[in-house]
Amino acid sequence: MKKRGKSRGIGICMAFTLTVAIFLVSPAFAQCPYFSDAVTFTSADGTVIAGNVFIPQATTPGQTFPAIIFINSWAFEEHEYLVQAATFASEGYIVLSYSARGWGLSGGLIDVAKPADVEDLSAGIDWLEANTPVDMNNIGSAGMSYGAGISLLGIANEPRLKTVASMSGWGSLNRALYEQETPSLVWGAILTALGYIGRPDPAILQGFNDLLLQQNIPAIMALNDISSPINYVSEINARQAPVYFSNNWDDDLFKPNSILDMFSQLTGPKHLDLNEGIHISAELPGLLGLPNYTWDNVHDWFDYWLKGVNNGFMSQPPVTMKVKHTSETVTFANWPSSTVKTKTFYLGPRAWNLSGKGTLNTSTNSKSYTDLIFSGFDTLATSGRIPVLDQLLEPVVPIMIPISMVSVVNGIVYQSGTLSSGIKLRGIPKLKIWITPSLPQAELVVYLYDVNSLGIGTLITHGPVSLHSATPGKTIQLSMELSATAWNVAAGHKLAIAIDTYDPLYSVPTFSPYTVKFPLSSSKQSILTMQYVN
């Protein structure tokens, strides 16, 4: 397997187009494949879409070329991919980049990856057929973030697309914006605010407000389902269309869980790279022409599927995972993988334990006690004190806390004994926990820590879950996921989960004070399960 960050020959055109990306003009384009920044085409509903195109110079009469269509990320427009587009063009591709409706010079309103956006992609293919020497049997689409989602929807609905590359995209939009019934406050606000760089449909702001206020939830979820590629897996499988994914462990906008689910359901050719970093951070250097593992793979992917280059890419393991805070990359032949096992810990009550902690045991709990926490104040347990910034820096500045300092009033810790051998976590940690809320509304945020011999916990991953219509005083069992991860816990360390009722990333369901009880007994086992490899 090639190393992450392998350099790729960029060539003179790369340097020239980097200048164009900044100034949008450069006489050096005369030395590059034909370039036009005046492309327009009309979508099915009459909306005019603006774009640009690179066309290689033909060396023989009637020569045709494979094509790649780039779709902009949220808050960007058609010039986002100029550096990569010029590189692909120098390698023999026609490259059409366009601004999705509502962005840049394109008409219409931002539609959040609805059928009209797929119609725009289809209109782009029509334009290529009518205006360029395109090989209609070899057309692909790619994008980061918003462009990734539209590309995935395109491969499900546009039969002329042969393959797509999705970078920092989503599987389920509901799981992104309303994870386990918890509104994504920070990322939702960022998306909504950045939408005003373009021309957003007023329904976007209304929908975000409704999520925060818990209004019209069924209608919002139904609309988001339309924009969720995971709901079109059967259409992709019917074509056995090849799909490339790249996603990042600490992407708190599009967490990798739904992409892992989508990947597992696809039956055609597929590849998934899971990297360190937040939203688009692993892919961004390659966008600027710097050496980049993901973009190298995208080039190899399109070379194989659109040009028929036998470059060995499809003989490599189809799943790679960068292990967080290491230089290690692990591979799997598929996902779920038969080499991945499940380790189970049972929560034991804190009760009157002088350490202030409950336990995580590999045997079932036999003690009966009900632990209690209060809402109203945060604890030291957090996904990051400064949202987005702390997650961005997390690969080099881990998020660490002294576990014993987590408030016993507003939070609770369950900790394992010292591990005699290390655990290599790979996948999605899950928690089934019995709780008794005092109000219909409640929120729990669960943090998984790697605790060293000094009692310092390093955040591995986390996940929120919210209640909106619980019966006060009634005990229920919650099932929740934490964000997927790849992490090596060293021998001599401990595992711990901390639970509280607030994290700055997420909206709270109520400002009224409430309590949450955690009843534990032999008949009410609360269970933490984690995927690992030997």
Length of the chain, in residues: 534
> Which of 330, 374, 359 lies closest to 451 in space, CA to CA?
359
What gap in Å lies between CA 167 and CA 73, rounded to an integer? 10
For helices 146-157 and 115-131, what crossing angle results, to 10°?
80
| E strand segments, 57-216 | 65-71, 94-98, 134-144, 163-167, 178-179, 182-183
What gap in Å lies between CA 73 and CA 253, rounded to an integer? 13
DSSP annotation string for 284-352? HHHHTTS--HHHHHHHHHHHHHHH----SGGGS-SEEEEPTTSS-EEEESSSS-TT-EEEEEEEE--TT
What gap in Å lies between CA 408 and CA 412, rounded to an integer? 6
- Three-state DSSP class for residue 475: coil
> Which of 269, 267, 266, 285 lies closest to 277 in space, CA to CA?
285
What gap in Å lies between CA 506 and CA 168, rounded to an integer? 20
Structural domains of the chain, ranges and CATH numbers in brackets: 12-332 (3.40.50.1820), 341-533 (2.60.120.260)
> What per-residue confidence (pLDDT) applies to 322?
98
Whether the Cβ atoms of residue 176 and residue 146 lie closer than 8 Å to each other: no
What gap in Å lies between CA 247 and CA 255, rounded to an integer? 8
> What per-residue confidence (pLDDT) applies to 110?
98
Express each pLDDT in 81-94 by its tens digit: 999 999 999 999 99
Whether the Cβ atoms of residue 325 and residue 277 lie closer than 8 Å to each other: no
> What per-residue confidence (pLDDT) applies to 351?
86
Q: Which residue type, as a one-letter code, is found at position 455?
A: G
What gap in Å lies between CA 365 and CA 39, rounded to an integer? 66
Six-digit token string for 384: 């990051």
Six-digit token string for 209: 């407000």
Compute the mean pLDDT over every residue in the chain, rounded to the nearest whole number: 94
Interstrand relation of 163-167 and 243-248 (parallel, antiparallel or unpaired): parallel
> What per-residue confidence (pLDDT) applies to 356?
86
Q: Which residues of the chain have pLDDT under 70?
A: 1-32, 354
Is the pTM higher than 0.75? The answer reads yes
